[in-house]
Amino acid sequence: MISRVCTRACARPVAWQLTRTAGLSTLRAGPLRQGAAAPGSGTQGAQGPPRKSSMAAALVLGAVAGGFVYCYVNHVRPARAAGELKPFAQHITTRDTPFATDYTLLGTGVRSVTIPSFKVYAVGMYLADGDDKLVTKVFNSPYLSESVIDKDPKQSHVANLKLALDDPQRSRELVGEFIDSGPRLLCQMTPIINTNLTFVREGGFIKSLKQSAEYNSPDNKERVEAGIEQVRKAFDAKGSLLRNDDFVMELKSNGDLQFYHFNAKKKQYTVMGVVKEPIVGKILFRAYLSGPRALCEEAREATAEKFASMV
């Protein structure tokens, strides 16, 4: 079972301890396999990578700003991260996590920075069980089918949907409509090299929010700025985010965005704060799931293919 360190609602982070080995293996199948060396480390994988140079730290920051993501089988390890990360679970349940509901994996990917072989982050994108009906509802809607999706009469609706989800402009509209329909989504991020939570917050999420179209729009800038302050308050924890730890953001059906940190060494979740401004969750998840310049193109592609297969 999961034992909650703090049993009452409070503003401070709440820790969840995974006390069942079987439960942990359901969520997280195995650590880095023995004998696998971290890239460029010269050490055994079980020990983790040594402290990197300041140049590597800068690349980490760039990777957070650029994004990361994961696929659809029992436990999935992105091909380019094989041997470097524990696999992502196909299915995550409330039995083993503090999450609000159960989730199934949509797609995965790895973010590389500057050099294709310099892999920094991986991400798993998940959809709540039962919310597949929203995929069908939105992407089969007559309005979107006519105005956005079915542009090639020689192609099937499914083929046209995949083409639309791969299009930098049409994908933004489609994913925006999907998020507005209220799906519960989860983005689980796992670093391949060590970083820290401040980099993730400032160089990743807040930078992405400030680069969004909404931030540069007079109609929405005030809402985004308010959302940024909520992110800083919800994400006030400091400390390391080590390889094979997880940072998780969970989008609720009402637009709330909840943050979590999983410490792999302690096998413990910390429930962080929540962002109530719905534009924040919409911007961040849309940035992963659509173009142009998706935060992780591998994940966007994998998730688009999965969405098309679901209609």
Give yes or no for a contact between 59 and 199, defined as CB atoms under 8 angstroms apart: no
Give yes or no for a contact between 208 and 199, defined as CB atoms under 8 angstroms apart: no
**Residue 225, domain CATH:** 3.50.70.10
* Residue written as token pair 């992110």: 231
Nearest CA-CA partner of 225 in 212, 242, 235: 212
Which pair of structure tokens corresponds to residue 51? Answer: 């402290």
Residue at 127 is within a domain: yes
Q: What is the pLDDT of residue 198?
A: 86
Q: What is the pLDDT of residue 10?
A: 35
Residue at 42 is within a domain: no
User: CA 2: distance to chain centroid?
Assistant: 23
Which pair of structure tokens corresponds to residue 112? Answer: 């590389």
Q: What is the pLDDT of residue 114?
A: 61
Residue at 44 is within a domain: no
Domain hosting 153: range is 2-30+54-310
Q: Which residues of the chain have pLDDT under 50?
A: 1-74, 82
Residue at 47 is within a domain: no
Helix (H) or strand (E) holding 278: helix 278-289
Cα torsion 21, 27, 238, 202 to 10°: value is 170
Q: How many residues make up the chain in this entry?
A: 311
Q: What is the pLDDT of residue 63?
A: 45
Residue at 230 is within a domain: yes
Nearest CA-CA partner of 195 in 60, 46, 67, 48: 60
The DSSP 8-state label assigned to residue 81 in this structure reads G
Give yes or no for a contact between 248 and 188, defined as CB atoms under 8 angstroms apart: yes
Tell me how many domains the chain contains: 1
Rounded CA separation 130/223 (Å): 30
Residue at 130 is within a domain: yes
Rounded CA separation 87/108 (Å): 11
Using DSSP's 3-state secondary structure scheme, residue 111 falls into: strand
Q: pLDDT per residue over 208-243, tens digit each?
A: 999 999 999 999 999 999 999 999 999 877 788 998
Rounded CA separation 163/295 (Å): 19
Residue at 49 is within a domain: no
CA distance from start to end of the chain: 36
* Residue written as token pair 């089918």: 145
